[in-house]
Homo-oligomer: A and B are copies of this chain.
């Protein structure tokens, strides 16, 4: 099958921002893009058609570690892959489980061969290798498959970061070998993205970016950021890496971030993002708006009957009042989480589409600087 194709449409003259299109067998992905997180083959609180019709993302994420444990690859294989299983016909990207393995900390052992870990569900032991991570993701049926890596914590000792990066590179070779020796499943093309590591060390990041660029896969990712480091360090690392990664392939910054983080990283040449923040914060009553963030649980909204977000583009923004949504959170009703999830994801996707428009129009930098200032605010 042909390799995934990326059309780079426009470079912003005043930043590294780019507008492009990634072509997959499940449709085109217009970049820059934010990918909603559907860990367990569901974006929490949203029906698939709501996600499609209201939020309208070109691609979503699912999680290898979680889907491997439940429902398991046997069910996903019988279903004909995750798209059929959840009834979603656009592209799906799966992270490899590297991040979840990192999060398990006490419950995993990392060795050259792979990672032994204890299930957070039933305590059973499992072993992931670069090879098995490829097999599992092929069986899940992801359009974009992530390399199996080690995500280092922050802060991270230089020597540990260096050794870990080299192991991630060796693992990548095994991923690529195994990936290219196995066929795509379910009749559509599957693509592998390698991951740059190197913690917060510029020299390691540069070294890793060179290595990943040389692996010559159809797209590349930046991992190991958004793990607690200051935003300035994240931007510094992104800048080093995007200067090295090939321009003609999409760049995916994993696990990032706030709306401001997104715009700053778009300015540094990133094309794809994912993060649990818009969905997780929504479930805690925190929404992002064009004028800043808002804690809908605050007492000050108790008798504010104005729309949830006057400037919002999701139907919920005008349909429900601040007072009503605040009430739903006060009494712990699920509808509150549903409303804020729909709001936040719609806002994130709107923001990426606006960014794209401004890149294509050539005024991204001015718009970005204004937006970053405007959104850095508590309502």
Which residue numbers of A lie inside 8 Å of B, CB to CB?
A: 40-42, 44-49, 66, 70-71, 74-75, 78-79, 84-87, 302-303, 305, 315-316, 319-321, 323-324, 327-328, 330-331, 333-335, 337-339
Contacts and interface: CB of A to CB of B under 8 A. Distances in A.
Given A78-B303, A78-B305, A305-B79, A323 B44 contact: no
A45 B46 CA distance: 10
Contact of A319 (B49, B335, B338): B49
B334 A337 contact: yes
Given A70-B330, A319-B87, A333-B40, A47 B338 contact: yes
Nearest to A333: B42
B45 A338 contact: yes
A87 B320 contact: yes
A86 B305 CA distance: 10
A234 B57 CA distance: 52
Contacts of A331: 40, 66, 70
Contacts of A338: 45, 47, 334, 338
Contacts of A75: 302-303, 323, 327
Contacts of A320: 87
Contact of A327 (B41, B87, B305, B328): B41
Contacts of A330: 70-71
